[in-house]
């Protein structure tokens, strides 16, 4: 049971969910396949679905609270989310809440970063 495999399954599930939600919101809007690359353009509802399937197991269903493994991450900046999710690093000068390095990078979530940031704002 590799963690990567498990996360990929979660990603596939969450993208189907995200697309379903997008179709419900926008009819058959093809634009929903190309989310904007800014936090402002992110969709918090899609971000929530992505968060629940890719982050909540370690963090918390409520991102403003510490989870079983990871700290509270409500109000994380897009730069912090990008550094953590794509590379498991931190932005220059950022003081991490934890000194551990237990969180795996999930680079396949690149296009989801604005949605995650919009949800965590
Ligand atoms: C396997 C468990 C796990 C998963 C899955 C996970 N995280 Fe984390 N996360 C952690 C842990 C543990 C830390 C604390 C630093 C460390 O040990 O890597 C952390 C730290 C963070 C931080 C930095 C907090 C701070 O201010 O110092 C952010 C932001 C974050 N995670 C976002 C996310 C997002 C977004 C996702 C989903 C895409 C996610 N994490 C998925 C375990 C996880």
What does the block give as tokens for 58? 């370690």
pLDDT in tens, 38-97: 556 899 999 999 999 999 999 999 999 999 999 999 999 999 999 999 999 999 999 999
> Candidates 39, 65, 70, 85: which one to mutate for ligand 1, based on the most atoms within 8 Å of Cβ?
70
Counting from 1 in the atom list of ligand 1, the atom nearest the Cα of 96 is: 27
Residue 41 has a pLDDT of 84
How far apart, in whole angstroms, are the C-alpha atoms of residue 7 and residue 15? 12
Q: Is any atom of ligand 1 closer than 6 Å to the C-beta of 79?
A: no
How far apart, in whole angstroms, are the C-alpha atoms of residue 2 and residue 44? 29
Residue with tokens 């950022």: 94
What does the block give as tokens for 13? 């599930």
- State the distance between the two ends of the chain, measured CA to CA, in whole angstroms: 33
Q: Is any atom of ligand 1 closer than 6 Å to the C-beta of 48?
A: no
Mean pLDDT score of the chain, rounded to an integer? Answer: 82
CB-count burial class (<10 Å; 0-12, 13-18, 19+) for 72: middle
Statement: residue 32 has pLDDT above 50? no
- CA 121 – ligand 1 centroid, Å: 16
Q: Is any atom of ligand 1 closer than 6 Å to the C-beta of 96?
A: yes
For residues 31 and 43, is the Cβ–Cβ distance under 8 A?
Answer: no
Long-range CB contact pairs, 4-9, < 8 A, 24+? 4/104, 7/54, 7/104, 7/106, 8/108
- CA 101 – ligand 1 centroid, Å: 9
How far apart, in whole angstroms, are the C-alpha atoms of residue 94 and residue 108? 24
């Amino acid at each position: 049971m590799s963690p990567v495999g498990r996360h990929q399954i979660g990603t596939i599930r969450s993208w189907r969910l995200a697309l379903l939600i997008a179709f419900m919101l926008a009819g058959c809007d093809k634009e929903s396949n190309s989310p904007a690359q800014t936090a402002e353009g992110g969709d918090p509802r899609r971000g929530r679905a992505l968060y629940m399937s890719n982050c909540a197991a370690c963090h918390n269903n409520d991102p403003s609270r510490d989870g079983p493994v990871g700290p509270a991450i409500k109000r994380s900046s897009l730069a912090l989310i990008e550094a953590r999710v794509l590379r498991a690093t931190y932005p220059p000068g950022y003081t991490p809440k934890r000194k551990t390095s237990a969180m795996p990078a999930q680079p396949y979530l690149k296009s989801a970063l604005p949605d995650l940031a919009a949800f965590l704002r």
